[in-house]
Amino acid sequence: MRGKALLLAVIGKKNASHGMQIGAAHIDSPRLDLKQMPLYEDSEIAYFKTHYYGGIRKYQWVTIPLELHGVVVTRDGTVKDVVIGADPTDPVFVISDLLPHLAASQNKKSLGEAIPGENLNIIIGSEPVSGDDGADKVKLNVMKILNEKYGITEEDFLSAELEAVPALPVREVGLDRSMIGAYGHDDRSCAFAELAAIIDMDDVPEKTSVCVLADKEEIGSEGVSGMQSHAFECFIEDICAAQGVELRRCMERSFCLSADVTNAFDPTYPEVSDKRNNAKLNYGVGIAKFTGARGKSGSNDASAEVVGRVRRLFAENGVVWQMGELGKVDEGGGGTVAKFMALRNIDTIDAGVPVISMHSPYELVSKLDCYMTYKAMKAIYLEK
């Protein structure tokens, strides 16, 4: 889907009138997008201005290595892929922060206000171009390098989507290597489970299995590549049409596991969770009957019947699972693609990998929970 989302299916033995078994995860993650006119020079340092995407805690994004990914579309329509910083021999980028010696005023500000969004400016160069007497020579030098490498001009940023993400490799965490640290576990840990489960399918499933890897979840599932887009209907309808089945008949009998991460109980911050109702690391895939905020606002809120169906299915397939809720009542909240699947008259429930430090540059999950999410996805796809 337009280079941003992906839909896969394995056609089942039964036709689409029996419904489909759907897994829906998202593959976008919170990040720093470059603004459309990002490049500037200040005091002989060149910068990119950014506008953050998704829910971030801004103070976490300064003084860490960043890499750039995205596309630049030039005026003649050529799409150029840009990846800088992912290769260990590449340079990386960074956003500055104050030294403690001069942070007396900043230290008095609240955590949410200490780093304003407009301060998330990425340092990209400091060397002036040689043999030029004009202004902004550092900026010019950076543009020269980009032009040599990618054949782009400053104007091409207007039609570019460039994103800065942490340049931190995925690593095993803990002496026992029981955990995985990485950027973007939300929601790639679940997206991977979904994808691996559909690829590993040996037999033709009873019902058609559908793996959805959606974009734009972190900003509300908006846009043509988000889960609210009718691109999903187009895909399902193509299968239905080939089998002479009406789309609405298929939808009402389909089942969706909205595979998205949940928060794992963090013993360092116990005050934000109800210990009895929060998912924990190493207790398996975390089912969330509802998400949302305050009085469950913005939630899918799966029925008891749907929860019961998943309990039974997981028990039959040896899936270790747990029930979880996103923190204490009125402490905050969040949403997933679940409600947009339910809108389509599809029974839907949230379940996924519990995460510590969700939405941070380096999120933490347990291997056991990842494996159980994979097994859970397999059970969903293969339900008879």
Least Å from the CB of residue 187 to Mn ion:
4
CB of 303: closest distance to Mn ion in angstroms? 22
261/372 with CB nearer Mn ion: 261
Instruction: Give min distance, CB of 335 to Mn ion, in A.
Output: 9
Distance of alpha carbon 44 from alpha carbon 135, whole angstroms: 10
Q: Quick check: 156 binds Mn ion (CB under 5 A)?
A: no
Give start and end residues of each alpha helix (H) in the chain. Answer: 104-107, 111-114, 137-150, 185-199, 231-242, 247-252, 304-316, 338-342, 367-381
Within 10 A of 130 (CB to CB), how many other CB atoms are there?
7
Least separation in angstroms between CB 188 and Mn ion = 9
| Identified binder of Mn ion from the candidate list 28, 194, 215, 260, rule CB under 5 A | 260
Stretch that binds Mn ion, among 3-11, 219-227, 260-268, 276-284 (CB under 5 A): 260-268
Listed ranges 78-86, 124-132, 180-188, 280-288: which one lies at the site for Mn ion (CB under 5 A):
180-188
Residue closest to 186 by CA, chosen among 24, 348, 26, 23: 26
Judged by CB under 5 A, the stretch of 67-75, 115-123, 181-189, 304-312 that binds Mn ion is 181-189
The set of residues, in sequence order, having a beta carbon less than 8 Å from that of 276 and lying 6+ positions away, is none
For Mn ion, give the closer residue by CB, 260 or 369: 260
Shortest spacing between CB 78 and Mn ion, in angstroms: 33
Residue nearest to Mn ion (CB): 187
Instruction: Give start and end residues of each alpha helix (H) in 317-366.
Output: 338-342
Q: How far is the CB of 257 from Mn ion (least distance, A)?
A: 14
Between 16 and 182, whose beta carbon lies closer to Mn ion? 182
Give the contacts of 333 (CB within 8 A, at least 6 positions apart). Answer: 291, 292, 293, 294, 297, 298, 326, 327
Tell the smallest beta-carbon distance from residue 261 to Mn ion (Å).
5
| Site size for Mn ion (CB under 5 A) | 3
- Nearest CA to 228 out of 130, 135, 340 is that of 340
Interface region with Mn ion, contact rule CB under 5 A, candidates 117-125, 150-158, 182-190, 222-230: 182-190
Q: Does 187 bind Mn ion (CB under 5 A)?
A: yes
Is the four-CA dihedral 71, 72, 73, 78 of positive or negative sign?
negative
Closest CB to Mn ion among 141 and 273? Answer: 273
- Tell me the angle at which helices 367-381 and 304-316 cross, rounded to the nearest 10 degrees: 100
Q: Where do we find the tokens 């900043």?
A: 106
19 in Cβ contact with 254 (< 8 Å) = yes
Give least dist CB 220 to Mn ion, A: 11
Q: Cβ distance 84 to 150 under 8 Å? A: no
User: Contact 189/353 with Cβ under 8 angstroms?
Assistant: yes
Binds Mn ion (CB under 5 A): choice among 28, 41, 163, 186: 186
Is 28 a binding residue for Mn ion by CB under 5 A? The answer is: no
**Residues of this chain that bind Mn ion (CB under 5 A):** 186-187, 260
